[in-house]
Structure 1
């Protein structure tokens, strides 16, 4: 059997072409398409993905027609995105507007029902933002991208350095020197360290590389370790 004329080879080529086309379309649409999705971005994403999968595995589908559909859909989405930047009305139509779910610490059931957000969704996102008690929250707003923003009550707001009128040293980025048990040699070099230094620090702390999920070094050369720990069942009270 001639491999280059087989269906397997055709699927491989179609997959490569679909992936390449999707990559360039995503670059065209910008980073927003792969980060926080609005309803419009979501529709664009699944539509283009559907065209790509059809092009890749459906050998009866016309190859160039499928690719053309992806390109046309991507360009159309790009121009609509440009229009939403220039027109507030179009932005509200395509992207949507925020919805208040909680006001003055009271849940607005009508808005929650309209937005298809239940109490568990609200509690989950509140915990993600560091709020484990809804009584600490003044406002909760569902953003157009599906995330919920929270405004805490005045007495629960974090005190900032500005509030305390303190002077602090400039902060820098931490370098990731171990990720998933793997030493990041390039990152060590960039901060003027080497593997020998890292292994020595680990030995002093009684740790081994494969036991570390993440290790970081700050601008003061402080090494912080995050170990792999066994699963801890703390879910039962959160349901």
Structure 2
């Protein structure tokens, strides 16, 4: 009888977890952020303790997982719906190397030291900080690197050409919302951005899903809805 009771709990927990992952998405599995990592641990503990605790009825397992899953879904929904909440729920990347110089303040805010930074760079097949133009510590603890032009895979040195300056792409619009701080950092105003969007056939910021500025390549725009394709 006890084995039947445990088996029924396991079957119920299995299908509830399967449904929860299908609804929330892959972030819980991939441990996209520390929040998702902790959520997965707590969820497994809730289910594991409930399965092997004789005094806990099946309805308690159902109730617990539904409440926890509902909270996870709410957080995911709010982070998708409201851009200003994203940084609180998911965190923001920290630029620890800027223009080839290590930013010690950002490094300390990321709770990292030079040795840990070098270790992350080596895992990205970079064995010298001198090769790095920009580096970000992402919310999940990984590192993203933009190399200086002489050290990129197809190097200018191979063609005996002088190195070119490296520019960092600047995100100006995300999910239809203007990132004013980035626009201000570029010393540009709203009128300049409107002219740039107009040259791309877009009249409003709200119509843009993503827009990025690169100094030597101009504005790259992805609209919310792609233009209709002409039938051939």
- The interval holding the TM-score normalised by the smaller chain is 0.5 to 0.7
Q: Which residue of 2 aligns with 1:210?
A: none
Q: Distance in 2 between matches of 1:119 and 1:97?
A: 20
Aligned residues: 157
Within-5 A mapping of 1:144-223: 144-159=139-154
Q: Distance in 1 between matches of 2:67 and 2:97?
A: 41
- Provide the alpha-carbon RMSD of the alignment: 2.4
TM-score, structure 2 length as denominator? Answer: 0.60
Deviations 1:50-81 (A, max 9, x none): 21112222222333213211112112211221
Measure how far apart 1:36 and its partner are.
4.8
Q: Distance in 2 between matches of 1:153 and 1:73?
A: 45
Q: Distance in 2 between matches of 1:113 and 1:12?
A: 49
Within-5 A mapping of 1:40-59: 40-59=35-54
TM-score, structure 1 length as denominator? Answer: 0.58
Within-5 A mapping of 1:131-150: 131-150=126-145
Structure 1 stretch displaced more, 76-85 or 40-49? 40-49
Is 1:81 matched up with 2:47?
A: no
User: Residue 13 of structure 2 contacts residue 61 of structure 2 at CA under 8 Å; is this kept in 1?
Assistant: no
User: Residue 93 of structure 2 contacts residue 138 of structure 2 at CA under 8 Å; is this kept in 1?
Assistant: yes
Measure how far apart 1:9 and its partner are.
4.1
Secondary structure of the residue that 2:145 maps to in structure 1?
Answer: strand
- TM superposition outliers: structure 1 runs of 4+ over 6 Å: none
Q: Which stretches in structure 1 are left out of the alignment for 5+ residues?
A: 165-239
Q: Distance in 1 between matches of 2:8 and 2:118?
A: 46
Measure how far apart 1:84 and its partner are.
0.9
Is 1:105 matched up with 2:133?
A: no
Q: Distance in 2 between matches of 1:20 and 1:119?
A: 45
